[in-house]
Amino acid sequence: MSREADVIVVGAGLSGLIAAREVLAAGLEPLVLEADERVGGRILTEEALPGVHLELGAQWIGDTHHRMEALAGELGIELYPQFEEGETSYELDGRVLRGEAFHSAYGEDMAGVERVLRTLDRMAAEVSAEQPWAAPHADEWDRITVGQWYDAQGLSPIARSMLEICTVGILAVPTVEVSLLGLLVNVVSCGVSADLLSESEGGAQTRRFIGGTSQIPLRLAAALGERVVLRSPVLQIEHAPDQVTVTCRGGLVARGRRVVVALAPTLAGRIMYDPPLPGQRDQLTQRMPQASALKAFAIYDEPFWRADGLNGQLISAPGPARMSNDSGMPEDSGGPGIILAFLEGESARVAGAWPQAQRQDALRAELGRHFGPRAAQPDLIVEGAWVERQWTRGCYNANPGPCGWIHFGQALTAPIGPISWAATETAAAWSGYMEGAVEAGQRAAREVIEVLT
């Protein structure tokens, strides 16, 4: 079977769908080829119980995610605030301590964390998210890992542990796998405040979508109609200056004038390109691994911890979850209580490989330590793992390893002939988030529209 369009878009995640929508709005014909049997990619809402929507993938937007807020408004999807009231529970020195007790015991340690965050802010002010390799200290900062740099900051063990947990909460890999420059790029991309690496996650998680995040890609895809083709993994892209031929598993061949590849770099690197891409681009995609995270939702008849003055958040050194939060429904809905436990970086890799019963036993025990015996007896635990998903292979996103930005960073977004690159990893603002996926889709669409109209 063959299809023709002006612009072929590879991937019906948020970024690809946005690119296709912009192309269509400019009077050109897009065709979206999606490997999976559904649209949305790293966005996946599951109705675990009637009316109870769990976000196995992307869940929140932050106050400065203006593109996402506008998109939700346009698609008629309402937002509700993340529940935040009450104290966090900490387990960093063998004891479980609630917020106030923890902060009065470890005030000096937390001052050390604050000092490091403000140092990061000063360094980040030198870095541009579009051209990190051009920063005055880029060379020095891309050769040292975040872990090495944290170790050299004179922090107490508690402060160092807190920074590790919160940083892994963003990167989803151990801090020895990302360079200091890479971390600064994350900070700049999200608005030049290292508070992203604090307990508050820099305001990245303040609101959710009533009815679930998946409504966004589903509504975008519905508007594109038959221009979205599912179950069509792209295997090969043949390209000439003004022509592309895209071949899918199953035999579909799509011909167009431009192609937008809206995949995380590692997955983009698995497609065969003919002629082959420049070496610098392939070396980049060899060095941007998908990170490691697993979400586990513990579901209870009600959010009983709220009455106890707890906000459902834990910060824990032993794990298996290093962080959690209250993942309940809108407050007036009377829905069940839900605690979302995050297994990120090494926890996702180590505890993620345990038999499910062992992992869930450890998780129940941990929740019991923090939120009381009732928390150790959830009605149900639902897990969302991404590493086994063939078309994602890890999450939340990807960062280049040490020296990646200075040696290969320029290949991340630069078009090659008729090929443009989208996906959240290529965004300048809020890279790694849905907001970044939208920005990247819009930017890639602009690149092709400028040439074709």
Ligand X SMILES: Cc1cc2nc3c(=O)[nH]c(=O)nc-3n(C[C@H](O)[C@H](O)[C@H](O)COP(=O)(O)OP(=O)(O)OC[C@H]3O[C@@H](n4cnc5c(N)ncnc54)[C@H](O)[C@@H]3O)c2cc1C
Q: Determine the Cα–Cα distance for residues 275 and 179; give it in Å rounded to an integer.
A: 32
Does the protein bind ligand X through residue 295 (CB under 6 A)?
yes
Q: Residue 152 CB: number of other CB atoms within 10 A? A: 9
DSSP symbol at 76? T
Q: What tokens were used for 226? A: 């038959």
Among residues 120, 117, 126, 426, the alpha carbon closest in space to that of 268 is found at: 426
The span from the CA of 83 to the CA of 193, in Å, is: 23
Give residue 53's identity as a one-letter amino acid code. Answer: H
Q: Which of 120, 127, 178, 262 binds ligand X (CB under 6 A)?
A: 262
Smallest CA-to-CA distance from 284 within 391, 184, 178, 399 is with 399
Find the shortest distance in angstroms from Cβ 292 to ligand X. Answer: 11
Nearer to ligand X, 138 or 284 (CB): 284
**CB 227 to ligand X: min, Å:** 14
**With CB under 6 A, what is the number of residues at the site for ligand X?**
42
Among 110, 123, 271, 329, binds ligand X (CB under 6 A): 271
Residue nearest to ligand X according to CB distances in the complex: 13
Q: Which of 120, 291 has the CB closer to ligand X?
A: 291
Interface with ligand X, residue 203, by CB under 6 A: no
Using CB under 6 A as the binding rule, whether residue 233 contacts ligand X is answered as yes
Strand partners, 324: 341
| E strands present in 227-368 | 228-229, 234-240, 243-248, 253-256, 258-261, 272-274, 293-300, 310-316, 323-326, 337-344
Among 117, 127, 296, 437, binds ligand X (CB under 6 A): 437
209 lines the binding site for ligand X (CB under 6 A): no
For residue 244, state whether it binds ligand X (rule: CB under 6 A): no
Q: Compute the Cα dihedral for 50, 54, 56, 62 and give only its sign.
A: positive
Segment contacting ligand X (CB under 6 A): 58-66, 74-82, 279-287, 401-409?
58-66
The smaller minimum CB distance to ligand X, of residues 58 and 187, is found at 58
Query: Taking CB under 6 A as the rule, does residue 43 contact ligand X?
Result: yes
Is residue 413 a contact residue for ligand X (CB under 6 A)? Answer: no
If you count them, how many residues does the chain have? 453
Cβ closest to ligand X, residue 48 vs residue 376: 48
Interacting residues toward ligand X by CB under 6 A: 10-16, 33-36, 41-43, 57-61, 233-234, 262-264, 267, 271, 293, 295, 384, 386, 391-392, 395-397, 423-424, 432-435, 437
